[in-house]
Amino acid sequence: MAENTAPPAELPERTKEISAEDGEKGPSKSALKKAAKDKEKAEKAAKRQAAEDAQKQASEANDISKEAYGDLPMLGSQPYLPPKEKVPRVRLDEIAEEYKDTSSMTEKGGPEIVFRGVVENARAQGAKLTFITFRQDADTIQAVVAESETLSRQMVKFAGKIPNESVVLVHALVKKPLEPVKSTTVQHLELHVKKLFVVAKADQQLPMQVADAERPIPGEGEEEKPTEEEGGRPIVTLNTRLNNRVIDLRGKHNHAIFTIKDGVINLFQEFLRARGFIGVNSPCLLGAPSEGGASVFEVKYFNTKAFLAQSPQLYKQMLIAARFEKVMEVGPIFRSENSNTARHLTEFTGLDMEMAFEEDYHEVVSLLEELILSICEGLRTRYKKETDLVRSIYHVEEFKLPEAGKVPRLPFSEGIAMLREDGVEIGDFDDLSTPDEKRLGALVLKKYGTDFYVLDQYPLNIRPFYTMPSAETQAKYDPNNPNAGLSNSYDFFMRGQEIMSGAQRIHDATFLEKRMKECVTPVDPQSDGLRDYVNAFRYGCPPHAGGGIGLERIVMLWLGLPNVRLASLFPRDPGRLVP
Amino acid sequence: MAENTAPPAELPERTKEISAEDGEKGPSKSALKKAAKDKEKAEKAAKRQAAEDAQKQASEANDISKEAYGDLPMLGSQPYLPPKEKVPRVRLDEIAEEYKDTSSMTEKGGPEIVFRGVVENARAQGAKLTFITFRQDADTIQAVVAESETLSRQMVKFAGKIPNESVVLVHALVKKPLEPVKSTTVQHLELHVKKLFVVAKADQQLPMQVADAERPIPGEGEEEKPTEEEGGRPIVTLNTRLNNRVIDLRGKHNHAIFTIKDGVINLFQEFLRARGFIGVNSPCLLGAPSEGGASVFEVKYFNTKAFLAQSPQLYKQMLIAARFEKVMEVGPIFRSENSNTARHLTEFTGLDMEMAFEEDYHEVVSLLEELILSICEGLRTRYKKETDLVRSIYHVEEFKLPEAGKVPRLPFSEGIAMLREDGVEIGDFDDLSTPDEKRLGALVLKKYGTDFYVLDQYPLNIRPFYTMPSAETQAKYDPNNPNAGLSNSYDFFMRGQEIMSGAQRIHDATFLEKRMKECVTPVDPQSDGLRDYVNAFRYGCPPHAGGGIGLERIVMLWLGLPNVRLASLFPRDPGRLVP
């Protein structure tokens, strides 16, 4: 039936037509009654529509601002504004800096700026005034949309209804506020809006607020609870935040975290490139598990299987054998460990390096010490703003760093002795537990005045098969106890937490095969995943050593984050593969 | 039985002991006979050993060079040489530069240098002279080990027997050769060896020679055959080379290829960082396939499945929605395509970027044009030596590049028109075949004088669902033909080969859902792999565009390599997962 779809004005004719089409049989009484009712309804609707149209027309006719606000079309292939109005967009941080001195600003004047920003929130104050807080990156600024001779009440109303988080294009005058604005990052300026266009409208209801993202998550073991200062706002758990990571990431401190994360990569590459390292990309897809099969992910690979690399270790070494003297790699690392802790991810970013040395693997240890100091120094100077921002939420003490060349390099045995002296019961060749490591960190800080130190010459039995036994251990070799003694391996610690692990590797194929068979968890040198690796050392390979850093862990530690997931854009753990 | 393991000198006593242990029963006749024979054998062996020892002792006694050569111990935790001899190692390229002018060198004099290098080959010329070619990175130099008052014949013999590819530590005098050495890269100098230690000995027989790696592989379709100039040396196929990639990579041009590859990454990051981009790491492990399920690898993920990312596309865009205005990523890309061609890999490196723009996606196209020109310029200036080296093997013309700001940006329709004019039959909305692309590249070169150009506004029906239809296409939208018209997308071409693909993306959730359902291969906006992605655009996302470069393809094209596998350290294809 056409009743409800025909436009109201044409309804009478249309009703007639239907009757005619129905042919000989006349309309029933009830049909006639219905038609009359419909007619009445339609007439009412038409009146209502006409009234609305008239009001709108009148409103538009007397809307002096009608060209100055509204929703922009979505297209991106033609200018939003007439070409003559195409003006460069500014950055709020630059404006804040440029107009640091507001003494010369008059009540009336002020430069006009155009920028794209986000509505953090819009508050209508009656019909004549709307306040908006605009955000652009980490900067927020207060703006007023006030009715005036040149700005209509309709525009004020429009401004007050823009949903939070919408992207807008703003033309505004820069003014000195009557008194400094307390709620924004730019406090010495405010904006008087002249034009206001919505580029991309956000939904009215978002699954969480950006402000929620900017509150700290509790530390491990602590309970999640609304803080007093926040006025008891409901808790948004880490899980909810990660489920809505796109909104969560909008938090200012999150931008700072990932700027710093990129900064660590940048500093790592810069330091090593300046020393002749080249960046390499080793494969993630392997034909067989290479470093013990327990924590490796299996991939369907056409008609066979592949495995995801648990580290670029074997490939870094093969590249040394291929005469690349100094290699570094930034790439994903995959660990199929079913650990649901604040410190484990199944996918993270590895910063790896490996280099040939001349006489002594301590040449490499020295370079790595310099590298870590250089990264910290770079973070401290180039990423101070971001570091301070994050540390304003997650409070952490500044690292106490030694001078270059003065990093304490303690033999493992000395670490054990210090712990024993402090009352810890531990054997000469036992691995350190996490609490032991933290305790030793505190002891080292007390004795040497630094949060950063190196523990050298770990017991052979707790290191991987490719680790070079120390000279003394090789000289005292006992076939009945082949894993006794120490190795040329080291861990780097920051405030009692391991940040890097490394070693001299075995560069002789025959000796490597022997160690593979004799080590605590023997592996088969002739297995598919290891054959090519072992063979690489039959072709003449120089002595070499290296190390690997877990990027997310460094970021977490630098910023005092309570959970490593906060240092991953889209974290992956045994229970999370989305978003 | 202990017969064969007891040391010869103790055998008689030991035999007695065994008899005693055997108890009452005396030895049998055959046992007695065997014991006598064994005794005789042992006595002979002892004599032989004594004679050898005596000869060795005598030889060592009158070996004036015995401290100056030999195999070094494998240990890396103590100096090879007494501390007083610990001298800095030099680099051959620096030495070649430092002693460019040999006019002041006398017959006798010459500075002494110490370096670690590789024996490319050692040739004994009688008993008194051995020639060795040493290699260090891309540099080779000739050296002589000659018997003299201070250098023993034993040392000359030792030098002549060092297997090729062994790593050595050399002390030598730098001399001016009688005439320039033709077979080495350093031609104006030669070395007179004073000390020679083997750091790591290579096997006598290697599965292939480094020299084999330095010959070109044939182009696609060409046959692999021994070249005349090479004296008909047997072919080493690409497959053999890749099976022995560690030796293959030792080829000088391979070091150059991977230095250039790292250079492209460096130039890409440098350009974008200077323009405010930050590097990001998007996940490789996804909860569901996101861009069509055909070419995605499946991973066993604890009790469920994961999938390897086919590109960071959706994550780059979600980061734009998360208010990261400009992001870049260098990371692995996985494609489960069963394509065994010279241009396909199952794992390669993607250089990706995405950015918000103000009014028109051509803002992004312009930046990408600059980026490509900047990378080419950087390769041309900073990596000239490496480029020339590779191009001496794989001959390719220099690219003809336009000036900045003058990159031809042709509408797709103009490309079609040019092809038609040249006799190609092709529809307005057909995709270009690879031969069409090459032909168009030639036509553009002829008309515009450049190898580099951009094809803009591709038909909507041949681009992915997230591509923004052009303004005109949106205005003319026909629900009966929703994929008609053009899109705000572009490909970049170098010499008729696509090097980058990109587009403006849809930033409105409602419109995106519509396109997902209407596009040529519809996808479900509410599926597990796409739900979070679509939702990201409900929260207010600015217009944005971006692009992606296949790193190996750029390197291949820049250097004229006939196979993309040559641009991957350890290439992965449907049939190769090792080494």
pLDDT in tens, B172-227: 999 999 899 999 999 999 999 999 999 999 999 999 999 989 889 887 666 665 55
Evaluate if residue A143 carries a pLDDT over 60: yes
So what's the pLDDT on residue B6? 36
Residues B353-404 pLDDT 10s: 999 999 899 999 999 999 999 999 999 999 999 999 999 999 888 899 999 8
pLDDT at residue B468 in the model: 97
Query: Which position among B366, B374, B413, B501 bears the catalytic label?
Result: B501
pLDDT higher than 70, residue B249: yes
The residues that bridge with A455 in the sheet, in sequence order, are: A410, A491
pLDDT category at A261 given cuts 50, 70, 90 is: very high
Predicted structure pTM score: 0.89
A258 contact B CB<8A = yes
Q: Which one of A175-179, A213-217, A536-540, B395-399 scores highest in mean pLDDT?
A: A536-540
Domains belonging to chain A, first-starting first, are 92-200 (2.40.50.140), 254-567 (3.30.930.10)
Question: How far is the alpha carbon of A214 from chain B, nearest alpha carbon, in Å?
Answer: 14
Q: Indicate if the pLDDT at residue B98 is higher than 50.
A: yes
Give the mean model confidence (pLDDT) for residues B550-573: 96
Instruction: Find the closest chain B residue to A489 by CA distance.
Output: B77
Token pair in block for residue B22 = 């055997």
Neighbours of B508 (CB within 10 A): 17
Q: Say if strands A489-494 and A452-456 run parallel, antiparallel, or are unpaired.
A: antiparallel
Nearest residue, CB atoms, A77 vs list B167, B488, B533: B488
* Closest residue of chain B to A118, computed from CA coordinates: B540
ipTM at complex level: 0.89
Tell me what pLDDT residue A230 has: 53
pLDDT higher than 90, residue B108:
no
B166 touches chain A (CB under 8 A): yes
CB contact under 8 A, A504 and B77: yes
Determine the pLDDT at residue A400.
94
Residue B241 designated active-site: no
Asked whether the predicted pLDDT for residue B12 surpasses 50, the reply is: no
Percentage of the residues of chain B whose pLDDT score is greater than 70: 90
Q: Is B125 helix (H, G, I), strand (E, B) or coil?
A: coil
> In this complex, is the C-beta atom of B255 within 8 Å of any C-beta atom belonging to chain A?
yes
Per-residue pLDDT reduced to its tens digit, B503-561 = 999 999 999 999 999 999 999 999 988 999 999 999 999 999 999 999 999 999 999 99
Where residue B106 falls (left for φ over 0; alpha for ψ -120 to 50; beta otherwise) is beta
Angle between helices B384-391 and B252-273 (to 10 degrees): 140
Please state the rounded mean pLDDT for residues B126-150: 96
pLDDT at B15 over 50: no
Residues of A whose CB is below 8 A from B533 = 579
Asked if B340 and B569 touch (Cβ cutoff 8 Å), the reply is: no
Partners of residue A470 in chain B, C-beta under 8 Å = 75, 77
Q: Is the pLDDT of residue A58 over 90?
A: no
Q: Choose the weakest-confidence range: A205-214, A226-235, A342-351, B419-428.
A: A226-235
User: Is A347 in contact with B266 (Cβ distance < 8 A)?
Assistant: no
Binned at pLDDT 50, 70 and 90, residue B106 comes out as confident
B contact residues 170-209, partner A, Cβ 8 Å cutoff? 199-203, 206
pLDDT the model gives residue A26: 60
Instruction: State both tokens at A89.
Output: 């967009």
pLDDT band at A43 (very low <50, low <70, confident <90, very high): confident
Cα–Cα distance, A195 to A182 (Å, whole number): 25
* Bond before B571 cis per omega within 30 degrees: no
**Between B524 and A105, whose confidence is greater?**
B524
Question: What's the pLDDT tens digit per position in A357-415?
Answer: 998 999 999 999 999 999 999 999 999 999 999 999 998 888 999 998 899 999 999 99
Mean model confidence pLDDT for chain A: 89
Nearest CA in chain B to A265: B279
**Chain B hits for A578, Cβ within 8 Å:** 286-288, 528, 532
Contact with chain B for residue A535, Cβ under 8 A = yes
Is the confidence at residue A161, as pLDDT, over 60?
Answer: yes
pLDDT at residue A236, rounded to an integer:
87
Residue A182: φ, ψ to 5°:
-85, -30
Q: Enumerate the residues of chain B whose CB falls inside 8 A of the CB of residue A269.
A: 266
- From chain B, the residues in CB contact with A283 under 8 A are 347, 569-570, 572
Q: Is the pLDDT of residue A521 over 50?
A: yes
Angstroms from A527 CA to nearest CA on chain B: 12
**B285: nearest CB among A137, A347, A542:** A347
Residue A44 pLDDT: 87
**Would you say residue A84 has pLDDT above 70?**
no
- B439, B515, B544, B553: the active-site residue: B553
**Residue B578 touches chain A, beta carbons under 8 Å:** yes
**Burial, A64: exposed, middle or buried (Cβ in 10 Å; 0-12, 13-18, 19+)?**
middle
Q: Tokens in use for A231?
A: 């006025």
% of chain A with per-residue pLDDT over 90: 75
Chain A contacts of B570, Cβ < 8 Å? 282-283, 315
pLDDT of residue B328: 98
- Whether B439 is a known active-site residue: answer no
> Lowest-pLDDT range, A146-160, A428-442, B224-238?
B224-238
Question: Once rounded to an integer, what is the mean pLDDT over residues A325-339?
Answer: 96
Q: Is the pLDDT of residue A2 over 50?
A: no
* Chain A interface test: which of B273, B539, B572, B573 (most A C-beta within 10 Å): B539
Q: Which residues of A touch B76 (CB under 8 A)?
A: 357, 359-361, 468, 488, 504, 543, 545
pLDDT attached to residue A232: 59
Q: Does B24 score more than 60 pLDDT?
A: no
pLDDT category at B84 given cuts 50, 70, 90 is low
Burial B356-381 (b: 16+ CB within 10 A, else e): bbbbbbbebbbbbbebbbbbbebbee
| Closest CB to B301 among A201, A297, A532 | A297
> What's residue B528's pLDDT?
87
pLDDT band, very low/low/confident/very high, at A46 (cuts 50, 70, 90): confident
Distance from the Cα of B246 to chain A's closest Cα (Å) equals: 5
Which candidate, A74, A282, A341, places its Cα nearest to that of B469? A74
Q: A58 or A71: which carries more pLDDT confidence?
A: A71
Q: How many residues does chain B have?
A: 579
pLDDT the model gives residue B224: 60
Are the C-beta atoms of residues A551 and A261 closer than 8 Å to each other?
yes
Determine the residue of chain A that is closest to B576 in CA distance: A287
Per the CB < 8 Å rule, is B297 touching A306? yes
Average pLDDT (A433-441) is 96
Using the Cβ of B325 and the Cβ atoms of chain A, whether some distance falls under 8 Å is answered with: yes
Query: Using 50, 70 and 90 to split pLDDT, how confident is the model at B4?
Result: very low
User: Nearest Cβ partner of A508 from B74, B334, B579?
Assistant: B74
Confidence of residue B110 (pLDDT cuts 50, 70, 90): confident
Measured in angstroms, the CA of A404 and the nearest CA of chain B are apart by 21
Q: What Cα–Cα distance (Å) separates residue B313 from each residue in A254, B347, B464?
A: 21, 16, 11
3-state secondary structure A357-400: CCCCCHHHHHHHHHHHHHHHHHHHHHCHHHHHHHHCCCCCCCCC
Give whole-number Cα distances, B140 to A376, A497, B181, B247, in Å.
Answer: 40, 46, 10, 17
- Kindly list the residues from chain A whose CB atom is less than 8 angstroms away from the CB atom of residue B242: none
A237/chain B closest Cα distance in angstroms: 18
pLDDT surpassing 70 at residue B39: yes
Does B298 reach chain A within 8 Å, measured CB to CB?
yes
Please give the angle made by the CA atoms of B380, B258 and A290, to the nearest 5 degrees: 165
Pair of tokens at residue A417: 């002795």
Give the mutation candidate from B358, B364, B412, B572 for the A interface (greatest A CB count, under 10 A): B358
Position A11 scores a pLDDT of 35
Q: Does A458 lie at the interface with B, CB-CB under 8 angstroms?
A: no
Phi and psi for B149 in degrees, rounded to 5?
Answer: -60, -25
Structure tokens, A243: 């489920």
- In this predicted structure, what is the pLDDT of residue B292? 65
Nearest CA in chain B to A206: B539
Name the least confident of A273-282, B65-74, B495-504: B65-74
Q: Is the pLDDT of residue A553 over 90?
A: yes
Catalytic annotation, residues of A: 335, 337, 343-344, 498, 501, 553
Query: Within an 8 Å CB–CB cutoff, is residue B294 touching chain A?
Result: no
The answer to whether the CB atoms of A282 and B330 lie below 8 A apart is no
